[in-house]
Structure 1
Amino acid sequence: MPTHHSYKKIELVGSSPISIEDAINNALAECAKSIRNMDWFEVVETRGHIANGKVGHYQVTLKVGFRLADS
């Protein structure tokens, strides 16, 4: 019998002075502290801060989908 799930989407922002990938991982690690059943993410915006003509830090906006608990 097929299993049906319902999902909810939230938006969050992660940042890192190291890389875009690190910014994504930082955001997901923080989200995982309070959200269970995370299944996927989508990067919807990428931006950064410039300091002295160089990248000061990266910032990414993510949409994170998580499965709602089965009733």
Structure 2
Amino acid sequence: MSKTFEIIERVGISNESNSDAVKKVVMEANTEGGVSWFEVVEQRGRVTQDEKIEYQVTVKIGRKINA
């Protein structure tokens, strides 16, 4: 029996931390279908106009698809 997966790429954003941004984006994707794995491919941040830090992560998410 073969297994087939799809990979989606999403960007998560948080004002708390990189790990919070990852958790938010992965859990949101999980509501659409079972997440099998994820890979953080990029981390970055920015300073907002009101001098707050915004954490941003790009995440690849693997989900099993029914074939």
TM over 0.5: yes
Band of TM-score, shorter chain: 0.7 to 0.9
Count of matched residue positions in the alignment of Structure 1 and Structure 2: 66
Higher gyration radius (CA): 1
Residue of structure 2 equivalent to 1:44: 41
Q: Which runs of 4+ in 1 moved over 6 A?
A: none
2: distance between equivalents of 1:39 and 1:27?
14
Secondary structure of 2:12's match? strand
2: distance between equivalents of 1:4 and 1:40?
17
Secondary structure of 2:53's match? strand
Residue of structure 1 equivalent to 2:59: 62
TM-score (norm 2): 0.84
RMSD: 1.8
Instruction: Structure 2: give runs of 5+ residues left out of the alignment.
Output: none
Instruction: Structure 1: give runs of 5+ residues left out of the alignment.
Output: none
Query: How much identity, in percent, do the aligned residues show?
Result: 35
